[in-house]
Structure 1
């Protein structure tokens, strides 16, 4: 929802004390929290900001004095008060959660919803449309951890139905807001809090005297930190977890450096160097780590057996801290020692080590076998998210429906009555082809020598061999060339359609369907040189498409193209019958995007550039 920047941001003064109290009471009532917690989540000095989302929905955000958005609503007059990521970091147990692998988080940030295969843990009691948060589930040093909330959304289906679902398709959560989206960017962009280690709750202790169940006492229980949430159940088919020792992590980082030199660093121009060591590590080495380390370097520890077909999960971070070197400078000096790169010691103005060059001709680089990297997977995930976003936008933008129709006319009337169709009906090409195929099959008209051809019986022959229309007023009609007694199936269909009357039908949301006789002409977008050698773009023929108004289009394109526009009558047409819109400059691309955005199918827009090359 907040993948793109918000528009029409309008900031008001801090809420009045009475409005703040009302907002705090809404939060307390909706989320069942204490008054003290309400004061923390709805602080003094909170402001309200009105905005418009990319889907043209109005909303209101409530921002604290430090500029962090804390709550928001979507929709005119909406009563649903939704917490932001900043609020959820303050009180992480405000909403029930689902957990997902950390690799899914970039996809959610990219604008995608959480799909069923990406869910590791989901409480069965969750209701459809209930607000939930999404947390990352990962293992560090073989210890399961849960991150703070990274997304918030509504359940797409009940939790028990998700548990019982055997399909790998479908949405689990409709995501509303995520960490690092544009709503989060409005705030201070503070670092994400530390993850929480997942530990099992303490088991009850049996009292020896009476056999009753009690929990271990704690004198300071009231002041103790609340226990972390219970561990999410491991999926039955979860991949096994493997670990690497420091020597193996060092080897994997060496391979990442070779991968970076082999794929990107060797093609950098000399002017790109020197590169600070930190940037080299962040921008080249880390993204070049293997996405599937066990394929590149099997760990010395045995991989646990599993029925899962997935690659083993790696419980060790492949970073400098987990390697033998412990520091980046030591790692790079080791690479310099074997002549993979050259370094320059830190300078006064630049405390970071500088990488002056890389040795792309090194034997280790030449013999390196490329592998799938972390960057490759992230890029693939981003492309998938972008594709899903385009599909969602395409679904949201309802194209007008245009049907080309044909009606039996003159010579074709008898044929369609024989085909069992009404002569007053109109048909699409697909329907005409289906009627003809049924007729051909029923009368055994397929040529036995060449089944690509159809033998024409008297009815078919008389239909397509009838005289054509007169060439002009007062001129005698010239007969069509007499066809042979057999034709290919497609040629036969084309000939019969040529003997029918053309119609078209247009359906658009908010408009009554329009059915008219004649062939529909595409919208014409023509760029040409007008007075004073100035290029202008003319749009005409848009009236039949229902969704485009001349005055509205001129005004919208004036803003989009930042140029003058005008509406006038098409030359040679009676007054008011046809209009054209003129836009200053070569604006064919902007006009095309505007018409497609309005719902006009791209195939019904013809663009021509008559301005000549400049």
Structure 2
């Protein structure tokens, strides 16, 4: 179900009444939970978010996340735990074991076949058809997947352990797991003796390959070569090997880049022993500490995380290497910063969803003091945020902004037949498809002129005002769609580079440029809302100050403690237009006030 990427529709904090209802639903679904364990799954006061999403197959789901960790998901009014929840409460579901190589198939979207299920000496757990079950790996009770039993335990045995056994819903290493902190399964010992198959494997691991394949061939669904030495490998090592194999195989370009970097002054045996992910981790830490030790000044704090990455961290990367955070174990720079915050190296503050700022750095921290800049790296380059047209400017990515439309209770009847309900947010193309579907299903296309749509009572109530209801019986297609979009609630989705999409209510505020009059008829230019587009107000002020040789200040925006505005002497609209439109490539429609630029006089 989560083998491919899903689309997040909304992410909101849970209401108090919904939290209480969720607690009662969880208690009813999982009666074995104690009150203390129930409070751990659904906390009383901690932040709990409700995430509406669509899977790659179009299925609508609700995910409940504690912070960034998904703990439950709901589908068709039934609650399911995630692997994160099961790692804390492994007793929650009856569990069936399988071999480590099978996990790779399950994470790719395959269901669990009965030949891959290990039958312990005590027999299979007794479950009925349709029971939700956990799937574990041999030797570790920590679940790596959840699935629904297609048949009862008795029917599985009667079928000779052949055929499909479980419909897998969610696994470790799928995209729902990737939505959390991407931690690995803990090592949890089984409460009962290990299956006889494992003991036989340990006793016969020194025998030749033919004898081993004969001893295990009937119970193993995979190639016997994958089973060699399984008694010597821990489950965690097996999983780590599989994670690396999955991430390295499809990424041929990444492997090629690592091959080119093999010429560094690192011993060959050490270089070969490190995976590409570990090498990227080392490079990220090197660039990070180099930037803090040699580039960032205390007077520049607070500093937007995106600016720190773009103008400082990337500039510290060696010329013959390329820093790609997605290829590291952190995947996102925000997660890396939070890890550094846990080590008390710096402090990060979230200004708004998806926008974080570094507010403090402990330059006396041992990690920074003991860092030595590699000799081959030239540390004399100036900060890129102060250079005109530098590489740092090109590394800025304008956020992707998509207008969305929320369905109100009044407009809901138009979208019910397309599977949408009140509160859903849709793109303009989805709105158009839903309206066309409604018109066709209800046969409202005018027979005499197909450019018109007949107005039925529902269209009348949703799209016409009181004065029009008695006069208009038909609408043109474009008029019908424009009226519908106008009456839907405005939302917008913002996707910053390297971050998850954020859905906010209303239209996004444009970058506002105003010209104000001060004493002695002096003019100043005021720029607001830069943070909404991932821009650092201080960096913009520094650029303008050097460009026009005029004083610039950054002050708190009145009425908004987490927002700032830039004020610079004179009418600097021309320079701002070049910076925002050409350098940062922000669309013109998201900038307000460019028409206030002074008119250039004719040259005599």
Structure label with greater radius of gyration: 1
Structure number with higher helix proportion: 2
Q: Same fold (TM over 0.5)?
A: no
TM bin, normalised by shorter chain, reads: 0.3 to 0.5
